[in-house]
């Protein structure tokens, strides 16, 4: 006979370690860990449920409490795993179905525990509730697999398939041995073995989820590296092009404006020649901070080139763009870079372009902004008039 208490304590320890590990990773990589939070809570709920189920060894007085808390932890962990997996594979979580199935299973198990202590009813309800939830999760994974094949996703399907088969076998044994189920559950090694398999597959499923989290985080890191300027931490030219194109597609059919502000530093090459490239890098980081200080949160700031920046302003008119351009030039000129005992004064110019036409393109808008910037370089104050696409 298997020692279920040892299995439950081992499951508690493993699930607790995985949950705490995920919580640590979430703090360090929160933007990349979409879907990790529900899975971390699933680990902790499974640990609590396993620990509560092990309380039955303290005596008959603890049996009812152990059943209630153990069932709640197991059911809640399965629901959280479903939610986290759906977020990981970019699927819409079926929360009403999952919540209804698990809530009905828990209420029925509590009723069987207190109103009519029937082991057969409690095991049947829990097995069916978990089985329905696992089957819905398997369907979501299958739909995702048709779009994006992954070895980890295949492993998850196999693991959850084993879990579903075990739950189905457990529910079937309830029906087959319904006349003498209490003695069968106590004396036969089949039921403890099935319970152990359920616990092991739950732990393996969470481990597969953690591997899927790693895959997704690595993919997001690669995408961010392709769209991010390493020096300033800003989006790069590719990301800015995508943002402008998205704004034009969204605003042009409704006749709403899309405005861009091109910012360029004056005589930037002198900083590198006189003070070195380290100072030049410090100047770029300082200018990034200056622009962020005056830029609205709804706008996107990106680095456009060696010494150039661009601000994408969706849903903003030409007057707002011109005002922001003046604020940026003024903020940069009034905020010298402090280096040791001397300050480095920085000058900049800015050009503004706006479009409300449905046939406007990113290239046309940027050419207009570049023309406005060339005109600004010849102006004493560094700002040019707004250029609107006709």
Burial class (CB in 10 A: 0-12, 13-18, 19+), 50: buried
Of 33, 12, 6, 7, the C-alpha closest to 217 is 33
Give pLDDT, residue 185.
59
Beta strands across the sheet bearing 383-388: 300-303, 308-314, 258-265, 348-355, 383-388
Backbone angles phi, psi at 214, to 5 degrees: -65, -40
Exposure string of 248-271, with b = 16+ CB inside 10 Å and e = fewer, is beebbeeeebbbbbbbbbeebeeb
Q: With the CA atoms of 193, 197, 200 and 202 taken in that order, what torsion angle do they form, in degrees rounded to the nearest 10?
A: -140
Tell whether pTM > 0.85. Answer: no
Other beta carbons less than 10 A from residue 146's beta carbon: 7
Q: Which residues of the chain have pLDDT under 70?
A: 1-11, 22, 24-35, 117, 145-150, 178-192, 221, 223-225, 358-359, 380-390
For the chain, domains (ranges, CATH) are 4-227 (1.20.1070), 237-388 (3.30.70.270)
- CA distances from residue 381 to 61, 349, 354 in whole angstroms, order as listed: 83, 8, 21
Give pLDDT tens digits for 261-308: 999 888 777 777 777 778 888 888 889 899 988 888 888 889 887 788
Other beta carbons less than 10 A from residue 59's beta carbon: 8
Q: What is the DSSP letter of 349?
A: E
């Amino acid at each position: 006979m298997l020692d279920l208490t040892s299995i439950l304590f081992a499951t508690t320890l493993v699930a607790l370690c995985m949950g705490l590990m995920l919580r640590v990773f979430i703090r360090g990589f929160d933007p990349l860990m979409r879907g990790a939070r529900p899975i971390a809570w699933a680990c902790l709920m499974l640990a609590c449920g396993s620990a509560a189920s092990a309380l039955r060894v303290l005596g008959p007085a603890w049996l009812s409490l152990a059943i209630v808390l153990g069932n709640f932890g197991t059911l809640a962990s399965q629901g959280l795993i479903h939610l986290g997996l759906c977020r990981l594979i970019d699927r819409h979580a079926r929360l009403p179905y999952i919540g209804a199935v698990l809530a009905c299973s828990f209420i029925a198990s509590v009723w069987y525990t207190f109103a009519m202590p029937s082991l057969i009813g409690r095991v049947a309800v829990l097995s069916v509730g978990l089985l329905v939830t696992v089957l819905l999760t398997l369907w979501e994974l299958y739909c995702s697999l048709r779009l994006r094949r992954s070895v980890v996703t295949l492993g998850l399907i196999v693991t959850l398939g084993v879990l579903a088969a075990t739950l189905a076998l457990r529910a079937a044994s309830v029906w087959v041995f319904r006349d003498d189920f209490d003695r069968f559950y106590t004396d036969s090694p089949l039921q403890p073995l099935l319970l152990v398999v359920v616990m092991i597959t739950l732990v393996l499923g969470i481990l597969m989820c953690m591997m899927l989290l790693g895959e997704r985080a690595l993919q997001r890191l690669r995408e961010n590296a392709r769209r991010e300027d390493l020096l300033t931490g800003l989006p790069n030219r590719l990301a800015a092009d995508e943002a402008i194109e998205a704004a034009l597609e969204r605003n042009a059919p409704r006749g709403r404006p899309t405005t861009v502000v091109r910012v360029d530093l004056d005589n930037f090459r002198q900083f590198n020649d006189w003070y070195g490239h380290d100072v030049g890098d410090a100047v770029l980081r300082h200018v990034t901070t200056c622009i962020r200080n005056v830029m609205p949160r709804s706008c996107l700031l990106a680095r456009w080139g060696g010494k150039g920046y661009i601000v994408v302003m969706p849903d903003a008119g030409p007057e707002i763009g011109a005002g922001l351009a003046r604020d940026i030039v003024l903020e940069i000129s009034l905020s010298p870079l402090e280096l040791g005992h001397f300050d480095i004064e920085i000058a900049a110019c800015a050009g503004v372009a706006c479009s409300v036409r449905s046939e406007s393109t990113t290239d046309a808008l940027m050419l207009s902004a570049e023309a406005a910037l060339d005109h600004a370089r010849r102006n004493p104050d560094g700002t040019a008039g707004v250029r609107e696409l006709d």
